[in-house]
């Protein structure tokens, strides 16, 4: 049997196995299942997924494609999802509203892009100086984070799921050196989410533009700097051709969760087994993206440094400490007047505090020893 057929049968097996789980034995069982019309059906569903990424862009766009293909294989072709890149149906930063309206059944992006809807949504993407990818997933799946995320998206008629993580990102590409906090003054930088608000407090100007526009914006001086993801994606966009300095670490995005979100009415129209397949396929895609970034970033960094002679630098310690202090202020502003935002962040921070104790004894100790 070919590898492809073996994988297909395995995924179909997973789908059937997932469908047999009960409410008491499966993770992430929600009230949505109670509304499903039946447990199993032969009906064929054809959906659209719209994304914030360029079509088939490495890691991000291909992650959306992987999710769609996994759902198709696990469902034996009963749920088919066609993926559209940014701008093919709606602009990149309008997909949230489009899925709410039913223009497409699914969206693929990251929660910090929707901070205009509710600033608290950013906590389900990434927090500066916050959780790593593994910690974020542990909070979502086993620390109450997913239930809070579902409550946060409920008013918009959406069902959210984690569908990838970029791991720790790079600090970004700059056309001038950052040697002090003063060098951030007046800096126009593409940086979304809470990290953008930190830059604003530091005297810079955050700009939120889609990934597909980054190279031209940086090259033409519309922005002075940009963060994107890390070596794998940055090399694919050719950002080394538009900026001179590549800074580390990604203080602003220590483990960014990518999401798929589903129109609630469309989700509830699925039979129970397909709902379970979608949830479990999202978990497979979430894990696969993390592993791909670990594998690909190494090679891409070597290419940037050895072939393109990129100047890789670390942010000075005093700059990092200033950004850390400003991050605490930004978070305090978000949770200060919103009880639900406070509930989300208390859960997030409480889980992080417990995680730190174990990580310091295990992961950090091992890496320092190694």
Q: Are residues 60 and 105 in the same domain?
A: yes
> CA-CA distance, 216 to 131, in Å (whole number)?
32
In a domain, 74, yes or no: yes
pLDDT of residue 37: 53
Q: Do both 186 and 330 map to the same domain?
A: yes
Which whole-number Å values give the CA distances from 251 to 61, 63, 124, 167, in the listed order? 24, 24, 16, 12
Q: Residue 26 above 80 pLDDT?
A: no
Residues 124 and 272 placed together within one structural domain of the fold: yes
Domain with 359, as residue range(s), is 172-254+310-369
Structure tokens at 133: 């990818």
Verify that 160 and 76 share a domain, yes or no: yes
Are 125 and 223 members of one domain? no
Q: What is the pLDDT of residues 36-80, one digit of tens each?
A: 455 667 899 999 999 999 999 999 999 999 999 999 999 999 999
Using DSSP's 3-state secondary structure scheme, residue 222 falls into: coil
Taking only the tens place, the pLDDT of each residue in 106-122 is 999 999 999 999 999 99
Angle at 191 between CA 230 and CA 325, to 5 degrees: 100
Same domain, 96 and 212: no
Residue ranges in the chain assigned as alpha helix (H):
3-19, 61-74, 95-101, 133-142, 145-153, 193-201, 214-219, 231-237, 264-269, 272-302, 317-335, 339-361, 363-369
CATH of the domain at 86: 3.40.190.170
**Region of 206 on the Ramachandran plot (φ > 0 left; ψ -120 to 50 alpha; else beta):** beta
Residue 27: inside a domain, yes or no?
Answer: no
Residue 265 lies in a domain: yes
**Residue 186 CB: number of other CB atoms within 10 A?**
10
Are both 94 and 199 inside the same structural domain? no
Contact 361/369 with Cβ under 8 angstroms? no
Residue 192, domain CATH:
3.40.190.10
Q: How many domains does the chain have?
A: 2
């Amino acid at each position: 049997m070919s590898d492809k057929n073996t994988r297909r049968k395995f995924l179909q097996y997973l789908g059937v196995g997932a469908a047999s789980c009960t409410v008491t034995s499966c993770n992430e069982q929600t009230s949505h299942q109670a509304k499903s019309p039946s447990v199993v059906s032969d009906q064929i569903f054809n959906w659209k997924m719209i994304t914030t990424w360029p079509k088939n862009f490495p890691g991000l766009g291909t992650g959306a494609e992987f999710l769609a293909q996994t759902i198709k294989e696990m469902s034996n072709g009963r749920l088919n999802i066609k993926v559209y890149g940014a701008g093919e149906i709606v602009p990149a930063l309008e997909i949230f509203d489009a899925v709410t309206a039913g223009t497409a059944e699914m969206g693929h992006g990251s929660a910090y892009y929707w901070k205009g809807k509710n600033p608290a949504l950013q906590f389900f993407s990434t927090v500066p100086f916050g959780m790593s990818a593994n910690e974020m997933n542990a909070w979502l799946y086993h620390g109450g984070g997913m239930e809070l995320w579902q409550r946060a998206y409920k008013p918009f008629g959406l069902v959210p799921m984690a569908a990838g993580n970029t791991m720790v990102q790079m600090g970004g590409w700059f056309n001038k050196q950052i040697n002090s906090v003063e060098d951030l003054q007046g800096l126009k930088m593409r940086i979304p989410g809470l990290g953008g608000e930190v830059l604003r407090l530091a005297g810079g100007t955050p700009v939120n533009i889609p990934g597909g526009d980054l190279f031209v914006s940086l090259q033409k001086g519309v922005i002075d700097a940009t963060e994107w993801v890390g070596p794998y994606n940055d090399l694919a966009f050719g950002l080394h051709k538009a900026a001179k300095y590549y800074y580390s670490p990604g203080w602003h995005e220590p483990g960014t969760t990518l999401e798929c979100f589903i129109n609630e009415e469309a989700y509830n129209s699925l039979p129970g087994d397909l709902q379970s397949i979608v949830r479990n396929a999202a978990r497979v895609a979430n894990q696969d993206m993390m592993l791909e970034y670990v594998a690909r970033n190494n090679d891409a960094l070597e290419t940037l440094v050895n072939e393109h002679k990129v100047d890789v630098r670390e942010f000075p310690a005093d700059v990092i400490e200033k950004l850390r202090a400003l991050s605490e202020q930004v978070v305090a502003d978000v949770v200060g007047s919103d009880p639900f935002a406070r509930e989300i962040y208390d859960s997030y921070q409480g889980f992080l505090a417990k995680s730190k104790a174990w990580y310091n004894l295990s992961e950090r100790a091992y890496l320092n020893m190694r």
